[in-house]
Amino acid sequence: MEIYNPSSQKRSRNPEMSIPAGVRIRGPMRPEFEKIFTRDALEFVAELERKFRPRVKYILKCREEQQARYDAGELPSFDPATKAIREGEWTCSSPPAAIADRRVEITGPVERKMIINALNCGAKMFMADFEDSLAPTWDNIISGQINLRDAVNRTITYEDKARNKTYKLNSKTAALLVRPRGWHLQESHIEIDGEPATGALIDFGFYFFHNHASYRAKHGGYGPFFYLPKMQHSREAAVWNAVFDHAEDVCGVPRGSIRGTVLIETLPAVFQMHEILYELREHSAGLNCGRWDYIFSFIKTVRAHPDRLLPDRVQVGMTQHFLKSYTELLIQTCHKRGVHAMGGMAAQIPIKDNPAANEAAAALVKADKLREVLAGHDGTWAAHPGLVPLVLEVFDQNMPKANQLHVKREDVNVTCADLLQMPKGTRTLEGLRLNTRVGVQYLAAWMTGTGSVPLYNLMEDAATAEISRVQNWQQIKYNAVLDGGLVPGMRVTKELFARVLDEELVRIEKEVGPAKFANGRYQEAAKLFAKQCTAPVLDDFLTLDAYRNIVTFAPTARM
Ligand SMILES: CC(=O)SCCNC(=O)CCNC(=O)[C@H](O)C(C)(C)COP(=O)(O)OP(=O)(O)OC[C@H]1O[C@@H](n2cnc3c(N)ncnc32)[C@H](O)[C@@H]1OP(=O)(O)O
Ligand SMILES: O=CC(=O)O
Ligand SMILES: [Mg+2]
């Protein structure tokens, strides 16, 4: 492969000459990857890794220690040590004009055609995702960087030869936000000083390095803008803030240009919202209710508490008291600190072949968005371009200004008990079956490189699949009693789950057809899902285990 070294302005045919010392690229090369692996960009990313790797390791260690305390019986709560921050009078830097109005944000993986469709769809913003909706294969990650670079430069096009269709950007497009991976995921295809790189720093580093100048030129000197996922504590936000400071300093970008919206999508983080905003106060663009990971995290955090079994996933909706409390506290917190309180994702997507079902799905999305705007959210997410007009209409009708930062929600008084109140509902055999069917099909798609899929007319991604996994794990671990059904008092056991898995695999094969089933990775996915659901100790993330199945090193990789 030929690598271009911009500092020498010469072309080299020897890859080693252009790769900085200590950096090893183990993923297979494609000629177009040269655009991303410039010498300067690699040096920038290697420096990020060297500077922040110890702090990332510390964060992950703290998570383990905190989980051990939860496993010993503690419940999450507000930290007395940071009361002064929660009660103090301070605000974050005010939102720049480019992100003042975020009423509808479409989200989707960093896939070329989807990026063009998302930017063109009429949403105010587009969150391009390296996280929940992307399977982090080497190709997806590096092609994603190329796609984003072309999108920022407005040169992105896509040819669909089969349909004889060319995709290109409209003159008016959504503004781009990028979501790097969470702190827990490594990028095994790039090693720095003999260790795999941190996924989050790879995603942030390459994107920032290649795009900050063009992005800021188009957005009034501000940006790039980010979403920051899956944090559990303000110390993790402090690391992102330090990464932003460092990136701004190294690239000569004025302090506070970068802005990040933190997803509050773990149970521990809801008790740290003021603290998280405080750490990021010069770089904050507010908080977002990442409801799917939040439900997953709720189960994971209290995994050692047998009295905390959740009802079936379909019953854990946003009107359950613990979720309503979380969203209201998030809105109050953000508006006190002068930043946006973003809503989350309704899982319904358009249903093409059934108008009545499609209408019912649209009505559910509409109700969800109406609840959000009336509660005081400043904007929300849409999973599909077909939903954008509907979501826009709800916000346009109920939010006349660019946002509603002025809605302080001083009436809200949320306590620990509210945030920890168990949702009401039933656990059924059909719930166990559905979790299994969805979990296996999602994993099979993920292992073939697709991180968000339509299943049973709903969007499924890593966060929703995690709920299926941990809910099964919880029910098996504590032999949950199932409600209803033909056998009253039936308990979930490993044996019952094994039978369910076998039967659901047969059903999946019928649904997808024998050819797709044989050519897909369903059996492998079933094995992995079963291992995860029956593990003596719950694994932190499904994708950590599954990642081993998508790593592909190049045979000729050399130092
Ligand atoms: C928990 C969370 O983190 S939520 C955020 C992360 N999740 C996501 O972002 C999910 C995003 N959404 C999606 O990936 C998809 O909409 C899915 C997988 C749910 C459904 O996909 P499909 O069934 O393939 O959609 P469908 O066939 O209706 O697509 C129709 C068109 O819309 C496009 N499209 C669908 N969703 C999106 C999207 N989110 N962004 C851009 N384009 C999209 C398709 O590319 C297709 O384009 P084309 O007509 O030019 O070929
Ligand atoms: O990232 C969003 C979520 O709901 O999880
Ligand atoms: Mg999430």
Query: Do 101 and 245 have their domain in common?
Result: yes
Based on the residue annotation, tell me whether 163 is a catalytic residue of this protein. Answer: no
Segment 357-410, tens digit of pLDDT: 999 999 999 999 999 999 999 999 999 999 999 999 999 999 999 999 999 999
Q: Is residue 337 part of a domain?
A: yes
Q: How far apart are CA 409 and CA 332, in angstroms?
A: 5
Q: Is the pLDDT of residue 7 over 70?
A: no
Spell out the residues 6+ positions from residue 204 whose beta carbon is closer than 8 angstroms to its own.
48, 178, 180, 226, 243, 247
Q: DSSP class of residue 51?
A: H
- ipTM, interface predicted TM-score of the complex: 0.99
Q: DSSP class of residue 485?
A: S
Least confident of 10-19, 136-145, 178-187, 210-219: 10-19
Q: Is residue 101 part of a domain?
A: yes
Q: Does residue 114's CB lie within 6 angstroms of at least one atom of ligand 1?
A: yes
pLDDT at 52: 98
Last residue of a domain, one of 371, 396, 419: 419
Based on the residue annotation, tell me whether 411 is a catalytic residue of this protein. Answer: no
Q: Is the pLDDT of residue 2 over 60?
A: no
Q: Whose CA is nearest to atom 37 of ligand 1?
A: 384
Q: What SS3 class is residue 179?
A: strand
Output the domain CATH number for residue 507. 1.20.1220.12
* Closest of 147, 157, 143 to residue 126, by C-alpha: 147
Angle at 132 between CA 207 and CA 512, to 5 degrees: 125
Work out the average pLDDT over 213-227.
98
Q: Is the pLDDT of residue 87 over 50?
A: yes
Q: Is residue 96 part of a domain?
A: yes
pLDDT at 8: 33
Spell out the residues 6+ positions from residue 273 whose beta carbon is closer than 8 angstroms to its own.
264, 287, 329, 330, 333, 334
Q: Which of 293, 296, 300 to mutate to test the pocket of ligand 2 (most atoms within 8 A of CB)?
A: 293
Provide the domain count of the chain: 2
Segment 412-446, tens digit of pLDDT: 999 999 999 999 999 999 999 999 999 999 999 99
Q: Whose CA is nearest to atom 20 of ligand 1?
A: 454
Evaluate the omega torsion of the peptide bond into residue 80 and state whether it is cis, within 30 degrees of 0: no
Q: Is residue 517 part of a domain?
A: yes
Q: Please report, rounded to a whole number, the percentage of residues in the chain having pLDDT higher than 90.
A: 95
Atom of ligand 1 nearest to the CA of 108: 9
Ligand 2: lining residues by beta carbon, under 6 Å: 132, 263, 265, 290-293, 344-345, 463
Q: Is residue 9 part of a domain?
A: no
Tell me which of 132, 150, 461, 469 is the catalytic residue: 461
Q: How far apart are CA 135 and CA 468, in angstroms?
A: 18
Segment 285-341, tens digit of pLDDT: 999 999 999 999 999 999 999 999 999 999 999 999 999 999 999 999 999 999 999
* Closest of 496, 339, 512, 344 to residue 433, by C-alpha: 496
Q: How far apart are CA 233 and CA 264, in angstroms?
A: 10
Query: Do 113 and 47 have their domain in common?
Result: yes
Q: Is residue 117 part of a domain?
A: yes
Last residue of a domain, one of 391, 419, 447: 419
What are the residue ranges of helices labelled H in 72-123?
83-87, 112-120
The ligand whose atoms approach the alpha carbon of 543 most closely is: 3
Distance 346 CA to ligand 2 centre (A): 10
pLDDT at 556: 66
Last residue of a domain, one of 419, 454, 472: 419
Q: Is residue 173 part of a domain?
A: yes
Q: How far apart are CA 68 and CA 89, in angstroms?
A: 34
Query: Do 513 and 403 have their domain in common?
Result: no
Spell out the residues 6+ positions from residue 75 whose beta carbon is closer than 8 angstroms to its own.
302, 416, 420
Ramachandran quadrant class, 220 (left: phi over 0; alpha: psi -120 to 50; beta: rest): left
Output the domain CATH number for residue 145. 3.20.20.360
The band of 557, judged by pLDDT with boundaries at 50, 70 and 90, is very low
* Closest of 296, 546, 297 to residue 446, by C-alpha: 546
Query: Do 337 and 353 have their domain in common?
Result: yes
- On whether the CB atoms of residues 192 and 49 are closer than 8 A, the answer is yes
Query: Do 506 and 383 have their domain in common?
Result: no
Query: Do 367 and 467 have their domain in common?
Result: no
Query: Do 382 and 270 have their domain in common?
Result: yes
- On whether the CB atoms of residues 459 and 519 are closer than 8 A, the answer is no
417 phi and psi angles, rounded to 5 deg:
-60, -40
What is the identity of the amino acid at 449?
A: G
Q: Is residue 413 part of a domain?
A: yes
* Closest of 10, 4, 6, 49 to residue 31, by C-alpha: 4
Spell out the residues 6+ positions from residue 517 whose beta carbon is closer than 8 angstroms to its own.
508, 509
pTM of the model as a whole: 0.96
Q: Whose CA is nearest to atom 2 of ligand 2?
A: 290
Distance 348 CA to ligand 1 centre (A): 11
Segment 51-66, tens digit of pLDDT: 999 999 999 999 999 9
Residue 70: which domain range?
39-419
Query: Do 362 and 494 have their domain in common?
Result: no
- How many C-beta atoms surround the C-beta of residue 519 within 10 A? 11
Query: Do 232 and 350 have their domain in common?
Result: yes
Query: Do 138 and 80 have their domain in common?
Result: yes
Question: What does the block give as tokens for 557?
Answer: 């990789």
Q: Is the pLDDT of residue 480 over 80?
A: yes
Query: Do 53 and 69 have their domain in common?
Result: yes
Query: Do 229 and 147 have their domain in common?
Result: yes
